[in-house]
Amino acid sequence: MRRSYLFLFFLAVYALTSSGNAFRVPDEFEVYFQTEHLIDAGDLSVPQTLAIQQDGASIFFGEFGRDGRPYAPYGPGVAFLIVPFHMLGRAVAALAGVPRGPLPDGIAWEFLVGGITSLGMAVAAALAVAGLHRASIALGASPRTALRLSVILGLATMVWPYGTALYSEAWLAAAFVWAAAFLLEARNDLRSARWRIPVASLLLAVAGLTKPTALVIAPGFVVATLLDRRVALRPRWRAIAVLAAGIALAAAVQIGWNLYRFGQPLDFGYNLAGMILQPPARSFSLADVPRGLFVQLLTPGKSLFVWAPIALVTLLTARAWAPREPGLAAGLLTGTVLALVFYAAFLYPEGGYAHGPRHLLPLVPLLILPLAIPAVPVPRRAVMAAAAAGFVIAALAASVSFLEDQSPFQTNPQATGPYYERIDPEPGRPWNRYRVDYIPFKTALTSGHWASASRAVGNGPDFFALHLSRARTSMPGGTAIPIWLPWALAIPWAILGLFAGFRLVGGDYGQHQDH
């Protein structure tokens, strides 16, 4: 029951601080349009993007399929995962009397429904927090330790800002940590392995269909299972076969999806012509790995240890916990190294316009999990310092739009900015490169525009209720949004958060085992 309150508390926090702005970058708005068109027409193409113009061109980012339809370069999974929230958004719009119409006059409906659709990520991030709690208990942690680590994950890592934005990574974090929880529980109770291991396998498949490149982390689960000597060898091999089947299923479905759309098994739909001055485009380059690793681990704007400081505590205590759980240690090392190297070689190792190292978010709950191992001497001061630093970063990120902070509108190849620099790239690589001296939040917080009363929708403090209030007076058709609606969408979450928080801290949590 207490884990339910934990989930509800973080759901309320993430929903209350949600940006609600689903229309910033293609990774967000094209996923939204996938879901919208899935409901309207029954397919995942995004024709809506062709009707919206920016700087004289459509905002479509992707490729036209063999059927002539425009398709976004994203996995199909997330569009299905957020369908319930999209339907809720339509219902709220209907109850509030906000009409749907053609753009641009219908933008108010799109903004309202898009903001409510974004709450799917609040649910995903809250599930990730609850999943870490369950995995920690399965690993043998006390309920108090499990709660403490879960709160650190939820409030002092980049899970918080990704619970407020329409990026897919929160679903990946939830899927991976719940898969870990089910595998640990199967180890503790072999009779339940018959259903827990298939569920874990299904979660790996869901992650792969949500973001195909996330499968690079999945081998870590196989390695952890193989080297977990607390389980007999034959059950381990059966578990490995089931996990491998889930990974293979995700890969097969994605390949089939690519073949259906574009006729090529490895054509994911990324149209890189505008980013690559000297084609053909190369999505990966081993020569870029050293710099990519530096970006992901050591730069102030993208370091994993800046955006999830608790991971540094895990690393520094590895000699204490790794011998106690060699399978977990080997699996975590495998998944982390594969992800770091894979994304370091990618076109944009920093994750594009986003807060922190977006590609690494699915690893964060897993990197905290070793601190739940019983009898591991974890330095309390280090944990408290990591939690304090992480909270400051996460709270700022949840308050400031990454677009406003990173000056994204640099479509001119000759332009430079605080986030990207102009380079003369080798053939096949992009002209813009992440600036290693980028300081997060500096641009947004030092600009008078961010604090200006005349700021446009989407700028300033990045909260849906505020954006929706401003949309009433600045968007075409915005007057159809009732003046009470922003309050009606925010106050219930505040009440839920207070209630769930009170239930969490009330009573002696340490005396109750939560299963």
309, two tokens: 């400081």
**Contacts of 12 by beta carbon, 8 Å cutoff, 6+ apart:** 493, 494, 496, 497, 500
Q: What is the 3-state secondary structure (H, E, C) of 425-474?
A: CCCCCECEEECCCCCCCHHHHHCHHHHCCCCCCCCCECCHHHHHHHHHHH
Predicted confidence at residue 450, as pLDDT, reads 57
492, two tokens: 């219930």
Predicted confidence at residue 410, as pLDDT, reads 45
What is the value of pTM for the model shown?
0.94
Predicted confidence at residue 446, as pLDDT, reads 74
Predicted confidence at residue 29, as pLDDT, reads 94
Predicted confidence at residue 416, as pLDDT, reads 65
- Mean pLDDT in each 10-residue stretch from start to end of the chain (515 residues)? 90 97 93 96 94 79 94 93 97 95 84 96 98 97 95 98 96 98 95 95 97 95 95 94 97 96 92 78 89 96 97 96 96 98 94 95 98 91 97 96 73 65 87 92 71 65 92 88 94 96 73 43
In angstroms, the CA 208 to CA 218 distance is 9
Predicted confidence at residue 385, as pLDDT, reads 97
Predicted confidence at residue 272, as pLDDT, reads 79
Predicted confidence at residue 383, as pLDDT, reads 96
381, burial (CB in 10 Å: exposed 0-12, middle 13-18, buried 19+): exposed
